[in-house]
């Protein structure tokens, strides 16, 4: 079974100008404990000191807007023109467009946060899917790692690499897994330096070599003349997802993703509009 996951917003019956500001605690990431263990294992493998687990900060809060009319909705911002209180319908459907499960959340909840509970709901009701097709909002290393760990193939769309125009992107540097280093365009290594608490491994170049390199202006703008590349501890999961995207069998699922999920979400949106009319009437 191939699972298609997407979400849509449904406007709440609430005035966007009637709200109160409220401090709420930041939700813990579902992969935090596993990520910390992975970081410490990586530090030990490189001969570094293990990190001490951070204590949960009770004051780690964020400021949000809560509707006085419908407090369960979420304040959704998409540009300067679209600001309103909405609900998010996170839906999973099969290849035929049949909805297999739905989770409704406030509109300010990101899609990547709901993918894990939605997947658990589908597995409990039916079976473990063969592959999960989702949009770029779910294309993160923790989600790709979660799916591969459960032997589910992650199918994500192509996303263009970010960076400054005219400068080398990350894919211009070759990662050598055996020697655990990157090679630049000048065939010089960028060696491992440390692993941050956010789960990023730092690889740095030798500034003595970089200052005489002909590619320096296209490589880095650092005043120290040193190139720094960050690699996620779960980068292999993202790379595997990119490899699967170009596979003929898996890549054939991508054209169906937008069509199947949009049909299901459009139908659900229409039904919600009808419920809203009956409720308002």
- pLDDT for residue 279: 41
- pLDDT for residue 273: 42
Each domain of the chain, given as residue ranges in start order, spans 2-158+236-280, 170-234
> Two tokens at 214?
């002909």
Give the span between the Cα atoms of 220 and 175, in whole angstroms: 18
Q: What is the pLDDT along the chain (281 residues), one digit of tens a residue?
A: 889 998 888 889 888 889 999 888 777 778 888 888 888 888 888 888 888 776 666 567 888 889 999 999 999 887 766 889 999 999 999 888 888 999 999 988 888 899 999 999 999 999 999 999 998 889 999 999 999 999 999 988 888 888 888 899 988 999 999 999 999 999 999 999 999 888 899 999 999 999 999 999 999 988 899 999 999 999 999 999 888 887 766 656 655 555 555 555 555 544 544 444 334 43
- pLDDT for residue 197: 86
- Three-point CA angle 77, 80, 85, nearest 5°: 30
In 1-66, alpha helices (H): 32-45
In 79-224, alpha helices (H): 111-125, 141-149, 207-210, 216-219
Give the span between the Cα atoms of 122 and 261, in whole angstroms: 15
Q: From the CB of residue 115, how many other CB atoms can be counted at a distance below 10 Å?
A: 25
Cα 207–chain centre separation: 33
Q: Name the residue among 96, 100, 92 with its Cα closest to residue 132.
A: 92
66 phi and psi, to 5 degrees?
-115, 125
């Amino acid at each position: 079974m191939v699972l298609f996951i997407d979400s849509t917003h449904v406007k709440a019956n609430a005035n966007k100008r009637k709200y109160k500001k409220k401090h709420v605690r930041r939700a813990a990431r579902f992969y935090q404990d596993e990520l910390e263990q992975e970081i410490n294992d990586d530090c030990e493998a490189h001969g570094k000191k293990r990190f001490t687990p951070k204590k949960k900060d009770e004051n780690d809060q964020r400021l949000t807007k809560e509707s006085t009319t419908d407090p369960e909705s979420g304040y959704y911002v998409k540009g300067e023109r679209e600001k309103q209180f909405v609900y998010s319908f996170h839906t999973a459907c099969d290849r035929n467009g049949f909805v297999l499960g739905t989770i409704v959340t406030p509109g300010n909840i990101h899609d990547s946060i709901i993918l894990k509970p939605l997947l658990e709901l589908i597995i409990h009701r039916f079976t473990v899917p063969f592959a999960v097709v989702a949009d770029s909002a779910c294309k993160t290393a923790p989600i790709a790692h979660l799916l591969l760990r459960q032997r589910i193939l992650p199918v994500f769309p192509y996303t263009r690499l970010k960076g400054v125009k005219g400068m080398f992107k990350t894919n211009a540097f070759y990662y050598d897994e055996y020697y655990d280093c990157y090679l630049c365009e000048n065939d010089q290594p960028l060696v491992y330096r440390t692993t941050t608490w956010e789960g990023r491994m730092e690889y740095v170049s030798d500034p003595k070599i970089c200052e005489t390199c002909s590619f320096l202006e296209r490589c880095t703008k650092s005043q120290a003349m040193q190139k720094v590349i960050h690699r996620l501890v779960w980068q292999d999961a993202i790379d595997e997802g990119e490899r699967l995207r170009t596979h003929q069998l898996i890549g054939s699922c991508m054209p169906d993703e937008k069509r199947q999920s949009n049909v299901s979400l459009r139908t659900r949106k229409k039904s919600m509009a009808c419920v809203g009319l009956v409720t308002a009437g």
